Each structure stands twice: as structure tokens, then as C-alpha cells.
Amino acid sequence: MNLHEYQARALLRAAGIPMLDGDVATTPAEAESLARRLGGKGVVKAQVHAGGRGKAGGVKLAAGPAEAADHASRILGMTIKGLVVGKVLVVPAAEIASEAYVGLILDRETQQPVFMVSPAGGVDIEEVAARTPEKIRRLAVDPRYGLLPHQAMSLAFFLYDDFAKVRAAARIMEQLYQVFMANGATLAEINPLATTPEGKVLALDAKVVLDDNELDRRPDLADLRDESAEAPSEVEARRAGLTFIKLDGNVGCVVNGAGLAMATMDLVKYYGGEPANFLDIGGSSNPEKVVNALRIITRDPNVKAILFNIFGGITRTDDVANGIVTAMREFDVTVPVVIRLTGTNEAEALRILQAAGMPALNDMDEAVKQVVARAREAA
Amino acid sequence: MSIFVTRDTRLVVQGITGRDGSFHTRQMMEYGTRVVAGVTPGKGGQRFDDTVPVFDTVAAAVEATGANASVLYVPPGLAAGAIAEAVDAGIALVVCITEGIPTVDMVRVMPFVRERGARLIGPNCPGVISPGQAKVGIIPGNICAPGRVGLVSRSGTLTYEVVHHLTRNGIGQSTCVGIGGDPVIGTNFIDCLAAFEADPDTDAIVMMGEIGGTDEQQAAAYVKDRVTKPVVGFIAGQTAPKGRRMGHAGAIISGSSGTAEEKMAAFRDHGIAVMARPVDVVELIRPHLG
């Protein structure tokens, strides 16, 4: 789960990482009074889950409170990469002497948190890595011992020559590691880590991505989710216990299992169609899940046909067939539906569906070919 | 012989009295797996289905029954602790079915697993089956048949789809391993490839990958250098959008890395025949079998 900058700042601040004061505003008047409180001159920053918000006009420098209100009125409600801005962060404008990068990611290969630091901050770190890899230093942290003091110092010496700044940066890295582990992050990044002309080291921007698996046991973190930043269909699916991702095609897919769901989308494409979604209904044969899945899929006007692809391993396919029959009675589906069921009790499942006037297939390729053809006819 | 799980596997089920644990314990026993013990803290002294003794701790179960493998049906918040408990009790093979374990928990427990020399399979996986011998986990036994193809996969039902095609076409399996869909897992493709290469009962290998990470790319290079047996591969997620988690926590294209194209190219470049569709497994693997 991506956090907004203001939420990430709150986690970093709680760990003691130095940063400028600042707060969020949802109206121009709030932005104005915030700017006044912060000393007049300030930066108004769109809070949106999209990179490149500066280029999109979502970050503006204001010379005084009136201009802050003016910027806020333009940025609030603005659409950046399809997402509407509902909040702005207002921070004082800082004089900056240098910008560095400090990031911590979960590295799948070493299965450890890995620091990435660079004296070339304030820009996209992937570009720095591609163009000037010598300006990046990496360090894997052994989770048994945490970030050791000398490791933090060696990273900080790569950023600064001045010893006071080195010490300040090393402390910030230790604090960032604490934030990462204590909140189950998969990414925690300060870009830029800035120095002021007086020699202070400050986090000017923060980005944190949390592990979704952490949220069940951390309601405080789960509360940080901003559902206005997500597609409504995906919010509805999550509440219904389904994993759903909307795509641009016209063949709706209802599948059990994530791997099979991806392979089904790929096969739709292979046979010349375009998948409308990824949807994993899991191992359950619960009719309610099927109804919810159908409701979410059919709300998309692009969907011209729907494919069920169910492999009954432990799940009995006759149970799933009964679930589909119940759901189709309860929910009026106007687009053609193709059902593929195979596995445990397959013969009985096919009989149940046949009796309900819903012929089904047991071959995945055959079913995908059919649904692609039906979608094409209806388009 | 097959890999990881055999007739000699003596299994302890952690979470045996739970809903999933009890259901799958019955399935495993029906298949012929020797389930020698169960563990549910606080229920030690009971018997599961009047037959399997239940213990409070894995250590007590090992001492009383000589269990050498464990399978976990434990809630996500407790699972990493239960993995550590099994490893600490000297269990050599730990199979974790649980989905949704916080990644930092896995990051913390993995060094402990490695230090003790145990093998962890999963988490978030369907487990291991050596058809005709034993199954540990939730792979349906009825779709498998004994034979000489080894299969390793990051997913569940997609694995069943491919195994089903093999079995229906008279091609049996030595062992099928689901390594799991999480970003941090105990056993990766290379571990399984090495085991299949060394297994005299495996003649050819099927590798089912998906988007996210670089495990398949590294496995492809390993195949070229170290594997003499023919390998056939599949990658799910060619139509997956970037930056979205496709159900499995580990199935995500980060930036431009971990795409299906990149992985399929790595397969081709290193002599692994690539299946365009799950059904292609039959025609690609058959020529390699005696």
C-alpha cells in the first residue's frame, strides 16, 4: 500500500528524523492559514499516488499566504495521471545547499532490506542508477543485527565530507531502518535528503510503501488507506474479499487462483481477445462471492462477454456449479457467459449447469476461444 | 526416489485442529501420507480423528514420534514463529501453506532457517506431492500420477492445470513442488532444479514461473550451466499491467523489471523450451521421455 507524502512524513517524524514543519490542507483557506503559521513563504504540494507531480503542476512555490491559497485552489481538484488531488501538503520553503538520496528497499534476491544512497539526489534514482551507477552505494542489512553504527557511517561518508553532516545522516539512516522494520515497509525513501546553508541535514520529501500483509495486524496503518485514490471497482472488490484489477479489454474473467487467473488473461490475448480484468475468487464456492464478482465485472460497460475458469482441486466443482447457478439467478447478467469447469466431481458439475440451461466446457482453450468469439460478436 | 517428500516422510501437522488443518490432514492421510503427529498449543494429549496424537509443541511431537517433516496450516500472524519452532525442533523439511504472512516476519525468520540447515518450502504455496508416495500440503492427489517428470511452480491452480494435462496424456510426475507466490520464500527454482537434476527418477523438468522478481532469470542461467535434463518453461502474466500486484504478493512488475517478456527471453536464451499455453506442456515434454 502506497502512503501519501504527508503520511510518510508522520512515520519518519515519529522516529525522530529531522524535517521542516508542515501540514495538510483540504481547502485554499486552510492552505493560507498554514502558510501564515509557517512563516509566509511556502511550498504547496499535491498529495497524490503518482510520480511526476511536479512536472504536472502539482508542486508550487508561494511567496506568501495569499499565493499559497491561490496555488491550493488550482491544485486541489486537479487530475494527475487519472487521480484527483484531494489534499495538499504545505511546508515552508527551505534554502537548499545540496540534495542527496537515501532509500531502503526489500530486496527479494538477498531477502534483506537493502540501503541505496547517492549524493546525486532530488532526481529519479533509477535514472542515476542507469547513467552514473558509480554515484550509488548499496548495503544489505542483516536483519539479525540491524543497521550497525559503522555501516550507517560508511553510507553517510559516501554522501558528505563534513563530519557533522556525516553523523547527522548516519543517525537518519538508523531511524529510517527503524521505520522500515517497525511498520513492515517494502520501500522507505528520502529524496531529497537536503542540507541547508547552515549545515542542517533534513528530509525534504518522503515516500513509504507498506506491505499489504502487515495491515491485518496493524489497524493504525490500515487506516492510512486512501480509497479515493483507487478505482471504485477495486475498493468494492477488496471489501468483498476478492482480488480484482481492472484492465482495458472486453472479456471479463472470473478465475480461482492468481496464477491461473493470469494464465487465463494471457490465453484470451493468445486467441485474439483482450482481458477486461484480473479476478481471483479464491477457493470458495460461496454464491455471494460469485454475485459480487459478476456485479463488479458487469459494471464495466466495455465487458461484452464473461468467462468462468475454475479448476477444482480441493474445491469441488459441483459446489462451484451450484454457486454459479444461484448467483446467475440472483443477478441478471445480460452479456454472454462461457463456463469452464474441470477437476473434482466435474461430471456432476457439468450436469448441474446443463440442467440450469448453462452449458459448460471442461477444456480451457476451447472455452477461451468461445468467449473471445462471443465478445467479438457482441462488440 | 523423487525429491523432498517420499514414503519415508514422517509428517507433523502444525495447526492440525483448525478448519484447514483438519480438512487437509484427512486428505493427506487418505493419499497415504504418514501423518505421525499434530501440534496445537493447548490441545496436547488429544487425538485427532481418534488416531493422530496431538502435542503442545513441535519438540514434544518430534521426541515422541520421530517426525522429520512438518506442514503448517497456521494463521499468518503466527506462521513465522511456527516455522522457527519446527526448525528449532530439528525438523529438516518445513512446508508452509499459509498465505498473507507479513514480509518482515519472513525476513527475520529466514536467517534462522538457513543457520539450522532446514529446508523451508513456501510460504503461500500448495506444498509438495510425490505421486503414489506421499503428499504434504494441498495439491489434489487425484490429478497426479506417478512418473518421471519433475514440476516446480510459483502458483497453485495453474500448477494443477498443467499437471492435469500431463496426467490426462499419460505423463506421470516424480514430484510436483509449489514454491509459493510471496516475495520472500524458502526454496527457489534453482534449489528445485538442483534436486531434480540429482534425482535418478526424474527425466525432464517443467518450470512454471510468473511476473515479478528475477528468480526465473537466474534459474535459466543455472539450467544452461548445470542442468543436463531437458527443461520446459511457462511464464504467467504476459498481459499483467506494470506496478500492480496480481494476487500473489510477489507477482508485480517493479519499474520495468520482472516482466513476462524478459523471463521468456531468458528461458529461450538458455535452452529452455517455452510453452505459449498451458496445454503445450504435453507436446514439448513428450519427446524427452523414453
Task: Kindly state the average pLDDT of the residues B267-278.
Answer: 97
Q: What is the mean pLDDT of residues A181-195?
A: 97
Which member of B100, B108, B183 has the closest CB to residue A106?
B183
Sign of CA dihedral B221, B223, B227, B228: negative
Of B221 and B252, more confident? B221
Rounded to whole angstroms, the Cα distance separating B175 from B160 reads 13
- Model confidence at B49, pLDDT cuts 50, 70, 90, reads very high
Q: How confident is the model at residue B254 (pLDDT cuts 50, 70, 90)?
A: confident
B103, B239, B249: residue with CB nearest A266: B239
Q: A231 — contact with chain B (CB < 8 Å)? A: no
Cα of B139 vs its chain's centroid, Å: 9
Burial bucket for residue B253 (CB in 10 Å: 0-12, 13-18, 19+): buried
Contacts of A207 in chain B (CB under 8 A): none
What gap in Å lies between CA B141 and CA B144, rounded to an integer? 6
Work out the pLDDT band at A70, boundaries 50, 70, 90: very high
Burial B55-94 (b: 16+ CB within 10 A, else e): beebbbbbeebebbbbbbbbebebbbebbbbbbebebebb
Distance (Å, whole) CA A246 – CA A125:
29
Indicate which of A106, A107, A111 best probes the interface with B, i.e. most B CBs within 10 Å of its own CB: A111
User: What's the whole-number mean pLDDT along residues A298-323?
Assistant: 89
Chain A residues whose CB is inside 8 A of the B104 CB are: 143, 181, 184, 211, 214
Residue scoring higher pLDDT (B1 or A324): A324
pLDDT of residue B1: 67
> Does A212 reach chain B within 8 Å, measured CB to CB?
yes
pLDDT band at B47 (very low <50, low <70, confident <90, very high): very high
The answer to whether residues B65 and B57 touch, using CB atoms and an 8 Å cutoff, is: no
Which pLDDT score is estimated for B27? 94
Closest Cβ–Cβ partner in A217, A258, A311 for B181: A258
Cα separation, B287 vs B203, whole angstroms: 11
Does A332 touch chain B if contact means CB atoms closer than 8 Å? Answer: no
Question: What is the C-alpha separation between A2 and A48, in angstroms, rounded?
Answer: 10
Chain B neighbours among A 86-105 (CB < 8 Å)? none
Average pLDDT score, chain B: 96
pLDDT of residue B256: 78
Question: Cell numbers 543485527 label which residue?
Answer: A145
Min Cα–Cα distance to chain A from B34, Å: 20
Q: Does B140 touch chain A (CB under 8 A)?
A: yes
pLDDT digits (tens, 9 = 90+) for A257-306: 999 999 999 999 999 999 999 999 887 667 788 889 999 999 999 999 99
Torsion of CA B161, B162, B164, B170, to 10 degrees: 170
- What is the percent of chain B with per-residue pLDDT over 70, rounded to a whole number? 100
Task: Look at residues A214, A191, A83, A213 and name the one whose alpha carbon lies nearest to residue B249.
Answer: A213
What is the structure's pLDDT at B5?
97
Task: Say yes or no to pLDDT of A207 above 70.
Answer: yes
Q: What is the pLDDT of residue A284?
A: 63
Across A46-50, A167-171, B55-59, B187-191, least confident range: A46-50
What residues contact residue B11 under an 8 Å CB cut-off, 6+ apart? Answer: B28, B33, B34, B35, B36, B37, B67, B69, B70, B71, B134, B136
Residue of A nearest to B115 (CA): A144
Confidence of residue A315 (pLDDT cuts 50, 70, 90): confident
**Cβ-Cβ contacts under 8 Å, B215 against chain A:** 108
The set of residues, in sequence order, having a beta carbon less than 8 Å from that of A266 and lying 6+ positions away, is B236, B237, B238, B239, B260
Of B280 and A286, the one with more pLDDT: B280
- Out of A106, A108, A257, whose CB is closest to B157? A257
Q: Which residues of A touch B142 (CB under 8 A)?
A: 344
Mean pLDDT of A332-360: 91
Kindly state the cell numbers that stand for B18. Answer: 483448525
For A41-63, b/e burial (b = at least 16 CB within 10 A) is bbbbbbbbbbeebeebebbbebe
Task: Give per-residue pLDDT as tens, A30-66.
Answer: 999 999 999 989 999 999 987 788 889 999 999 999 9
Residue B45 reports pLDDT greater than 70: yes
Residue A229 in this model has a pLDDT that exceeds 90: no
pLDDT tens for residues B154-179?
999 999 999 999 999 999 999 999 99
What secondary structure letter does DSSP report for A4?
P
For A273, the closest chain B residue by CA position comes to B239
Count CB-CB contacts under 10 A for residue B190. Answer: 18
Q: Do B102 and A184 touch (CB under 8 A)?
A: yes
Task: Mark which residues 21-40 of B lie under 8 Å from A by CB.
Answer: 23-24, 27
Digit-coded pLDDT (tens) for A89-134: 999 998 999 999 999 999 999 999 999 999 999 888 888 988 999 9
| Closest residue by Cα to residue A36 from A2, A13, A67, A73 | A67
Residue range B61-76: mean pLDDT, rounded? 98
Question: Which residue out of B24, B248, B270, B288 is catalytically annotated?
Answer: B248
Residues of B in contact with A126 (CB under 8 A): 255
Substitution target from A266, A369, A372 for chain B, most B beta carbons within 10 A: A266
Cα gap A294→A300, rounded to integer Å = 10
Q: Which residues of chain A lie closer than 8 angstroms to B20, CB-CB?
A: none
| Cβ atoms < 10 Å from Cβ of A197 | 10
Which of A229-238, A257-266, B138-147, B191-200 has the least mean pLDDT? A229-238
> What distance in Å separates residue B64's CA from the closest CA in chain A?
31
Whether chain B has a CB inside 8 Å of the CB on A270: the answer is yes
- Residue B38 distance to chain A (closest CA, Å): 21
Residues 175-214 of B with CB under 8 A from A: 181, 183-184, 208, 210-211, 213-214
The single-letter DSSP state of residue B257 is B
Does A64 contact chain B (CB < 8 Å)?
no
Name the nearest CA neighbour of A195 among A174, A166, A175.
A166
| Interatomic CA distance for residues B209 and B141, integer angstroms | 22
Helix/strand/coil for A57: coil
A361 touching B, CB under 8 A?
no
Confidence of residue B152 (pLDDT cuts 50, 70, 90): very high
**Any idea which residue has 559516501 for its cell?**
A158
CA distance between the termini of chain A: 36
Task: Give the mean pLDDT of chain A.
Answer: 93
- In the predicted structure, residue B267 carries a pLDDT above the cut 90: yes
Q: What count of CB pairs under 8 Å joins A to B? A: 156
Respond yes or no: is residue B248 known to be catalytic. yes
Choose among B120, B61, B60, B57: nearest CA to B87.
Answer: B120
- Per the DSSP assignment, residues forming a β-bridge with B137 are B127
Q: Is the pLDDT of residue A344 over 90?
A: no
- Residues of chain B contacting A214 with CB distance shorter than 8 Å: 102-104
Question: Do A126 and B255 lie within an 8 Å CB cutoff?
Answer: yes
Cβ within 8 Å of B, A 16-45: none
Selecting among A6, A32, A67, A101, the annotated active-site residue is: A101
Subunit contact A342:B153, Cβ cutoff 8 A: no
Of A143, A270, A314, the CB nearest to B108: A143
